[in-house]
Amino acid sequence: MADHCCGHDIRFDGLSASYKQRLWLVIAINAAMFVLEMSAGALAGSQALKADALDFLADSTTYGVSLAVIGAPIRTRAIAAVLKAAGLIVMATWVLGMTAYYVLYAGIPRAEIMGGIGILALMANVASVLLLVRYKDGDANVRSVWLCSRNDAIGNVAVMVAALAVWATGTRWPDLIVAALMAGLFLYSSIRILQQSIQEMRSGERRALEH
């Protein structure tokens, strides 16, 4: 049955009408939240909100690429996953660099905006996670989609914790710490995606040699 996520020997590769429909819906959710959260991050002066907004942008791009390569040869899908992992690394580097800059120059972010937007973002990401959870154990291309969705939900909880801590302490440090932790999560996910992509490319090469 096409909608099954995985089997004992074959990973789900995205060839499902239901999966594609869910991806389109999640793309729309993430694109809208990127615009909203980046604007709110600028207004609030929150680096954590901006980092989370970039995660929404990365997800929209990831899902679009994932849709484009569904049904392609395993090597093509694995290469697409590698490119998405590289994008996560670039994003993590940017967040770390901006966090270092804000350590020196930023003012105290507005906790009430951080908290309010964090709640909206969490609702959007919980919806995305619920839409995609049955497909979390697919190939590297499908797996990268799930990891990005999971990262968003974790990031939103962290932003709300940071907002509460900023309000309680009256300092910018909780916001900056959360931004740095999110960058670390981006790097960890990129490594996981790269490892699986390399394994799948090697598996594809072995199958080609056997035939």
The CATH number linked to 66 is 1.20.1510.10
pLDDT in tens, 168-194: 888 888 888 888 888 888 888 788 878
Range of the domain at 64: 17-210
Q: How far is CA 2 from CA 132, 143, 158, in A?
A: 15, 17, 36
Number of domains in the chain: 1
Asked if residue 21 belongs to a domain, the reply is: yes
Asked if residue 5 belongs to a domain, the reply is: no
H-run or E-run covering 121: helix 111-132
pLDDT in tens, 2-30: 344 334 445 676 777 888 888 899 899 98
Distance CA 111, CA 8 (A): 47
Asked if residue 101 belongs to a domain, the reply is: yes
